[in-house]
Amino acid sequence: MVALDGPSGTGKTTVARTLATRLNSGYLDTGSMYRIVTLAVLRAGVDPADPAAVAAVADTARLGVGTSPERPSALLDGEDVGTGIRLADVTGAVSAVSSVPRVRELLVAEQRRIIADVVAEVGGIVVEGRDIGTVVVPDAELKVYLTASAEIRAARRSAQDSAAGREVTVAAARASVDRRDRLDSTRAASPLRAAGDAVEVDTSELSIDQVIVALSELASRRGLLRGAAESTS
């Protein structure tokens, strides 16, 4: 099992999906789960800053996520919301929603259930998020904390938004990155931080391929490439 943590703009999702494919493992994007709940909150007309109201929505929302790295999915009450959870309104509210203790309690329990099921079925999983190595699976065989400079992360976020048809300046992306970092790292419930035994990888000057090579080498040293080596030999 690989726990992959870090702030936005570090390449986490692309790295996690690619690594999961290389390891013949399942894949779980825990951040998408918080975004699904956030979308449910917004659709219910609830103030994301109202913890009790947010918790009530989280208690009744039916969410689902796919665990295939090639075909990840996000469902809310049976509806495919993979595009909707990436829109600006959700991005702007997700930190507030994810800081609600009841939301984290519910989703961490669901994440652990999904992880256990996938490991039992396929033998391994790469899990990405912000509290995986510290809270969700602190006993993961490999914990990695991806980081990058704020400037690089803002530029990446601006490019991603532009590619998706949302024109966002680098300055606006930097403000969003700084705000998200501040909220995620200072929240009382499961703040964003590297696990004490995590391997920190700075992706500022690395391509995705270079990051994958580095993580594959780490996984190999931890004995996590057995299945992948057999299937590609």
Tens-place pLDDT, residues 187-202: 877 788 899 999 999 9
Compute CA 142 distance to the chain's CA centroid, rounded to the nearest angstrom: 16
Q: Does any domain span residue 44?
A: yes
Q: Does any domain span residue 69?
A: yes
Mean pLDDT, rounded, for 109-116: 98
Residue 92 near residue 44, CB atoms below 8 Å = no
CA distances from 26 to 15, 22, 32, 115, 187 (A): 13, 10, 15, 9, 29
64: number of Cβ within 10 Å: 17
Tens-place pLDDT, residues 43-59: 999 999 999 999 999 99
150: number of Cβ within 10 Å: 15
CATH number at residue 159: 3.40.50.300
- Rounded CA-CA distance 212/206 in Å is 10
Q: Does any domain span residue 223?
A: no
- Domain enclosing residue 146, as ranges: 2-211
Q: Does any domain span residue 197?
A: yes
Lowest-confidence region among 78-82, 94-98, 155-159, 218-222: 155-159
Q: Does any domain span residue 233?
A: no
Q: Does any domain span residue 62?
A: yes
CA 190-195-197 angle, to 5 degrees, is: 160
Q: Does any domain span residue 86?
A: yes
pLDDT at 228 exceeding the cut of 70: no
Q: How far apart are the first and last CA of the chain?
A: 22
Q: Does any domain span residue 97?
A: yes
Residue 161 near residue 32, CB atoms below 8 Å = no
Domains in the chain, number: 1
State the average pLDDT for the chain.
Answer: 90
